[in-house]
A and B are shown apart, each in its own frame.
Chain A
Amino acid sequence: MTPAQIIFLITAIVTLGSALMVVTTRNMVHAALWLILSLLGVSVTFVLLEAGFLAVVQVVIYIGAIAILMIFAIMLTRGISEKEGPQINRNWPWALLISLAIFAGLAWMLSSWSGLSTQIIPLDSRVDTISQLGQALVSPNHYLIPFEVASVMLLAALIGAVIIAWDGK
């Protein structure tokens, strides 16, 4: 095994283990902390895939913004969330069955796909992927319109979140 494979296996085990803790642990604050570990594992996976910019964005947006927002929401609704009873509903065997069926279906579909044995080719060292990504996002021939639509959507979400959470006083 190469060092990259060993790093990948450790990352995958940590990520999947902490994801399991996210969906099973009773304490919501602990679930949010496990979620942060899981997101960090995904960021390491991006590094292994040589997508450095996405790894940084993963840490900044997911861990720095989304996970912190979740912790704030948990603290604002504290006490009600972990008072009594189990944290999973009574239909959980069905949920387990559905998720196992989806995993098995995806694995079966992947095993019959011919492109699975595609070999990795080294990236062209003359091309800088970050500048390529930046050019693609603002070039009219590539993804300018989706980029603008995404920024309008973020503005709409910002205004919507303020209006929804406003208590009217």
Chain B
Amino acid sequence: MIPLSWYLIFAAALFAIGIFGVLARKNAIAILMGIELMLNSVNINLVAFWRYITPERITGQVFAIMVFAVAAAEVAVGLALIISIYRRRKTIVAEDIDMLKF
């Protein structure tokens, strides 16, 4: 069978790639994509721990569903913000959106 460590290392690698995307990309939509990758790696961890450690309780899967709901809400609001900024400022480059900076 597949050892638990394989899933955890896989999820850690996916999380690291997502963090690189969030920190390095210029485009705000690409930053949201990085956040999606990170949320997915968290879900893999939750389901792997459910399956290996506590298969008799369904908590891990319930948490994963909560993460799905939060991800859907976050993407809807985030993309609405990006479209609104694009309409007013004609840019979606994250470092050009600096209205709050003195």
Contacts and interface: CB of A to CB of B under 8 A. Distances in A.
Task: Please indicate whether A and B come from the same complex rather than being unrelated chains.
Answer: yes
Interface of A: 2, 4-5, 8, 12, 15-16, 19-20, 22-23, 28, 31-32, 35, 38-39, 42, 45-46, 48-51, 53-54, 57-58, 61-62, 65-66, 69-70, 72-74, 76-77, 80-81, 86-89, 91-92, 94-96, 98-100, 102-103, 106-107, 110, 115-121, 123-124, 127, 129, 132-133, 136-137, 142-143, 146, 150-151, 153-154, 156-158, 160-162, 164-165, 167
Give chain B's interface secondary structure class: helix
A80 B79 contact: no
- Which of B27, B30, B80 has most A Cβ within 10 Å? B30
Contact of A80 (B7, B23, B52, B91): B91
A46 B64 CA distance: 11
A54 B7 contact: no
A168 B10 CA distance: 45
Question: In terms of DSSP, what is the predominant structure of the interface of chain A?
Answer: helix
B23 A94 contact: yes
Contacts of A81: 27, 29, 92
B50 A51 contact: yes
Interface string B57-90: 0110110111011111111110111111011001
